Amino acid sequence: MRLTEKKIKEILSKYKQSFIEMEHYDRTREILWKKKRINIILAQRTINRLKELKAKSGKPISQIIEESVQKTNFT
């Protein structure tokens, strides 16, 4: 099966983040999709709010934090 230029561009745009992560791995041998444990200090108010969100959504606190950070545009 030959891929047309249009199909190639479609694949590249659809899986752009995956290609970026694989290129990063090729350069650094660091796996970006691997989970890593860290210790952070948060205010008790923030911890209570995270626990409320966890109870409402059923998601782990780490996933709530990760999704929130990924949504934030720092640029």
Q: Are residues 1 and 27 in the same domain?
A: yes
For residues 51 and 64, membership in a common domain is answered with: yes
Please indicate, yes or no, whether residues 44 and 30 belong to a single structural domain of this protein: no
- Is residue 75 very low, low, confident or very high in pLDDT (cuts 50, 70, 90)? low
The answer to whether the CB of 22 falls within 8 A of the CB of 33 is: no
Q: How many domains does the chain have?
A: 2
| Whether residue 75 is found in the same domain as residue 44 | yes
What is residue 3's predicted lDDT score, i.e. its pLDDT?
82
| pLDDT tens per residue across span 14-38 | 999 889 989 999 999 988 878 888 9
Domain range holding 53?
A: 39-75
* Shared domain check, 46 and 72: yes
pTM recorded for the entire structure: 0.60
- Could you report the per-residue pLDDT of 49-59, keeping only the tens digit for each? 999 999 999 99
Q: Are residues 27 and 47 in the same domain?
A: no
Let me know whether 43 and 24 are in one domain. Answer: no
CA distances from 20 to 17, 71, 75 (A): 5, 18, 18
**Measured between alpha carbons, how far is residue 29 from residues 9, 16, 18, 26, 32 in Å?**
26, 19, 15, 6, 9
